């Protein structure tokens, strides 16, 4: 499957207004990166521009969190961290409530988003097409991190294993989601010989909470979801544990990757990184929300290492990071 970024992002004129176009004119290594970027150091990320004219140092920083649920839930959750980020950078910070993964990628690609948390499956597309530079993920206090993809149904559905999905319907979230589409597609094909359209009807809910609520309310017979989202929804009593039944749990995947646009001024990038790593979680709105999925610190990471399994899943699904 080829994800055409022009189709995915709507091919708007704004999306094609690239920041830092000098890389396309240079003879530089770039791997899967868009022609606008270079990767001289081989870390699979777009390098910071060497021409000062291509660097960005805005007075107001725009932050967006992956739209796994209603953005209104997370505007409040991130409020204490963004206040801390303002203090560390000396700049105003605005929360941008994106509605879907494509809009988030488009915003960074067009230069309207500076700091972001992209979901697991969107990270490679954001890295290669939008110049995203991830450097951290959330982890528990003891250093464990990640989540599992689960396929869930509701009690009494008649579905007791993934094999029973044949001939029925399965809810995905969006094509760019790892747990909401890419991983379950690869697993269902490899382990159960099931393919969308041929063996079952795929539907797209848009977000993990939509899929989870859809199953809980018996609108969908089954759905592929990230269990970290489900855990937080149960803790908030949006659903009760007895409304859903898990019929498959995957290996652990890296969770949301946080980082910056590649072309921010180096000094600003350093201040943003420091803000993530010196943030005191205890007693904050961020802790109150994310301790529901056992997260309490920002852990340093590299895209090259941590997202290796995700790139392999993409390869198994025939996904390419074509930006044009």
**Considering only CA atoms, which of 80, 61, 57, 77 is closest in space to residue 69?**
77
For 123, other C-beta atoms within 10 Å of its C-beta total 26
Report the alpha-carbon distance of residue 30 to residue 44 in Å, rounded: 8
pLDDT at 206 over 60: yes
SS3 140: coil
The pLDDT score that the predictor gives to residue 10 is 39
For residue 196, pLDDT beyond 80 = yes
Alpha-carbon gap, residue 192 to 198, rounded angstroms: 13
Q: Residues with Cβ < 8 Å from 313, sequence gap 6 or more?
A: 178, 182, 183, 186
Cα–Cα distance, 77 to 162 (Å, whole number): 35
Q: What is the pTM of this model?
A: 0.80
Instruction: Say what the pLDDT of residue 324 is.
Output: 60
CA distance 150 to 110: 34
Nearest CA among 112, 77, 87, 88 for reference residue 98: 112
* Of the listed ranges 24-33, 62-71, 237-246, 258-267, the one predicted with least confidence: 24-33
Q: How far apart are CA 309 and CA 292, in angstroms?
A: 26
H/E run at residue 158: none
* Nearest C-alpha neighbor of 5 from the set 108, 102, 124: 102
- Lowest mean pLDDT: which of 8-12, 37-41, 142-146, 167-171? 8-12
Q: Let me know if domain 5-143+254-316 sits in CATH 3.40.190.10.
A: yes
Taking CA atoms, 95 is separated from 2, 77, 79, 113, in Å, by 31, 11, 8, 10
Instruction: Give the start-to-end residue ranges of the domains of the chain.
Output: 5-143+254-316, 147-253
pLDDT in tens, 101-128: 889 999 999 999 999 999 999 999 999 9
Percentage of the chain exceeding pLDDT 90: 82
Enumerate the H helices of the chain as residue ranges: 5-8, 71-77, 79-89, 101-109, 123-130, 183-192, 208-216, 227-235, 266-277, 285-290, 303-306, 308-316
Angle at 204 between CA 199 and CA 207, to 5 degrees: 140
Superfamily designation of domain 147-253: Periplasmic binding protein-like II (3.40.190.10)
Distance CA 82, CA 90 (A): 11
- Give dist(CA 78, CA 72) in Å, integer: 10
Nearest to 152 by CA among 173, 174, 167: 173
């Amino acid at each position: 499957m080829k994800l055409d970024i022009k189709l995915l992002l709507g091919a708007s004129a704004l999306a094609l207004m690239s920041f830092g176009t000098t890389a396309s004119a240079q003879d530089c290594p770039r791997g899967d990166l868009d022609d606008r970027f270079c990767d001289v150091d081989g870390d699979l990320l777009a390098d910071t521009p060497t021409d000062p004219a291509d660097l960005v140092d805005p007075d107001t920083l725009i932050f967006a969190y992956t739209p796994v649920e209603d953005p209104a839930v997370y505007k409040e959750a991130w409020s204490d961290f963004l206040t801390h980020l303002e203090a560390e950078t000396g700049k105003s910070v605005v929360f941008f409530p994106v509605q879907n993964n494509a809009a988030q990628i488009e915003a960074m690609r067009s230069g309207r988003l500076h700091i972001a948390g992209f979901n697991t499956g969107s990270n490679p597309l954001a890295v290669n097409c939008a110049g995203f530079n991830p450097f951290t993920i959330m982890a528990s206090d003891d250093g464990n991190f990640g989540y599992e993809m689960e396929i869930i149904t509701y009690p009494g559905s008649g579905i007791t294993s993934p094999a029973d999905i044949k001939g029925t319907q399965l809810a995905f979230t969006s094509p760019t989601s790892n747990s909401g589409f890419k991983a379950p597609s690869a697993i269902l094909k490899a382990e159960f010989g099931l393919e969308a359209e041929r063996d079952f009807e795929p539907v797209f809910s848009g977000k993990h909470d939509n899929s989870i609520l859809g199953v809980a309310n018996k609108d969908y017979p089954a759905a592929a979801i990230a269990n970290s989202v489900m855990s937080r929804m149960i803790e908030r009593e949006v659903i009760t544990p007895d409304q859903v039944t898990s019929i498959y749990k995957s290996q652990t995947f890296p969770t949301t990757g946080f980082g910056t646009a590649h072309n921010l001024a180096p000094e600003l990038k350093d201040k943003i990184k420091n803000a993530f790593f010196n943030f005191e979680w205890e007693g904050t709105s961020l802790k109150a929300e994310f301790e529901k999925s056992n997260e309490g610190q920002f852990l340093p990471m590299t895209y090259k290492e941590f997202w290796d399994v995700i790139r392999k899943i993409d390869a198994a699904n025939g996904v390419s990071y074509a930006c044009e």
